[in-house]
Amino acid sequence: MKILRAAHLGMCFGVRDAIALALEHADAGPLTILGDLVHNPTVLRGLEAKGIAVAQDVTDVKTPTLMVTAHGTSERTLARTRGLGLKVVEATCPLVHVAHRAVAALARDGYHVVIIGQRDHVEVRGLTGDLDRFDVVLDDADVLALAEHPRLGVAAQTTQTVERVRHLVGLIRRRFPQSDVRFVDTVCKPTKQRQSAAVEMARQADVVVVVGGWSSNNTRELVQTCARYCARVHHVQTDADVRAEWFDGAEVVGLTAGTSTPNDVIDRVEARLRRCQVEVPAR
Ligand code: SF4
């Protein structure tokens, strides 16, 4: 049984830098993170062990310093936070800042903003938090429910799949042929690299294992992407979730991981796959 690691997988620079910044500030004094820094329980437990608190709303923060995650937040939330007398540490990923600037430019140029993404995701709330009017779409039904606007400005949550984004932009253009539809591609490069490397790997694999938190959006997207090219795809959070019987008869097992999955978690899953190799030899 051959194990094939995707050429690009696992933690992106945005998440890695945000974790490093949190640990650095935690050493300097009490810190609260606004929302989940990453959707990965292993990382979150590590931060908790350092005494870092997590709050879902600024009014629940009990430390003098608050950190905004790599997912970013709106200027309105930042102003509200500073208004409460809190010191703000921003770990917003530079590629999320790019998306914020794209959305602000669309709104400034008179476009009705449409975000392709998950309405309740913290990044999407940050992207739309300074807008008075906007729409968020994730599937065809959402596009069919859109009202007509002479100018529609479309951008995406940075972790969406390129295929979904292209499909929905095409649908928006066909649904509103009279409208000026401007699309800005804000899906980030690490997401694109992980998705295309996952496709490349899944095409060659009999079984694919995707490592990442159950609630991680980009991990779930990777699972769906791989499932289009490989019939046997399994999502695991840690090595403990891997089952030897999944690999019965498999010659090539592909491995990939979401952008919030630490390297050591991926390595432990790979080591477990190698042990399964011994338990379930290929036929
Ligand atoms: S997924 Fe992309 S936008 Fe999000 S933190 Fe990572 S690099 Fe930045």
81 phi/psi in degrees, rounded to 5: -65, -45
- Whether the predicted pLDDT of 282 surpasses 70: no
Q: Quick one: 184 exposed, middle or buried, by C-beta within 10 A (0-12, 13-18, 19+)?
A: middle
Residue whose CA lies nearest to ligand 1 atom number 5: 14
Given this model, what pLDDT does residue 17 score?
95
Confidence class of residue 281 from pLDDT cuts 50, 70 and 90?
A: low
Given this model, what pLDDT does residue 35 score?
86
- Whether the predicted pLDDT of 5 surpasses 70: yes
Given this model, what pLDDT does residue 279 score?
66
- Is the C-beta atom of 77 inside 6 A of ligand 1? no
259 Cα–ligand 1 center, Å = 7
Cα–Cα distance for residue pair 241/252, rounded to 1 Å: 19
- Is the C-beta atom of 12 inside 6 A of ligand 1? yes
- Mean pLDDT over residues 193-207, rounded? 96
Please state whether beta strands 112-116 and 65-68 pair in parallel, antiparallel, or not at all (unpaired).
Answer: unpaired
270 included as an active-site residue:
no
Q: Which residue pairs from 177-180 have beta carbons closer than 8 angstroms and sit at least 24 positions apart in sequence?
A: 178/148, 178/150, 179/148, 179/149, 179/150, 179/151, 179/152, 180/111, 180/150, 180/151, 180/152
- Is the C-beta atom of 212 inside 6 A of ligand 1? no
- Mean pLDDT over residues 140-165, rounded? 96
In DSSP terms, 55 is beta-bridged to 34
Nearest-atom number in ligand 1 for the CA of 159 is: 1
Tokens linked to 160: 């969406």
Residues 239-278: pLDDT tens digits? 999 999 999 999 999 999 999 899 999 999 999 999 987 6
| Sheet with 2-5: strands ordered across | 2-5, 252-257, 207-211, 233-236
- Whether the predicted pLDDT of 283 surpasses 70: no
- Whether the predicted pLDDT of 190 surpasses 60: yes
Residues 39-48: pLDDT tens digits? 788 888 888 8
Q: What are the distances in angstroms from CA 259 to CA 15, 51, 181, 250?
A: 7, 24, 30, 26
Confidence class of residue 57 from pLDDT cuts 50, 70 and 90?
A: confident
262 Cα–ligand 1 center, Å = 14
- Residue partners of 209: CB distance under 8 A and separation at least 6: 233, 234, 236, 242, 246, 253, 254, 255, 256, 269, 273
Residues 21-38: pLDDT tens digits? 999 999 989 999 998 888
Cα–Cα distance for residue pair 256/269, rounded to 1 Å: 10
Nearest-atom number in ligand 1 for the CA of 13 is: 7
Residues 59-106: pLDDT tens digits? 899 999 999 999 999 999 999 999 999 999 999 999 999 999 999 999
- Is the C-beta atom of 261 inside 6 A of ligand 1? no
- Mean pLDDT over residues 128-133, rounded? 97
Question: Of all helices (H) and strands (E), which one includes residue 260?
Answer: none
Pocket test for ligand 1, best of 73, 90, 95, 121 (most atoms within 8 A of CB): 95
Given this model, what pLDDT does residue 61 score?
92
Given this model, what pLDDT does residue 280 score?
56
User: One-letter amino acid identity for 11?
Assistant: M
**In the chain, pLDDT over 90 holds for what percent of residues?**
86
Longest dimension (CA), the chain: 65
Pocket test for ligand 1, best of 38, 158, 160 (most atoms within 8 A of CB): 158
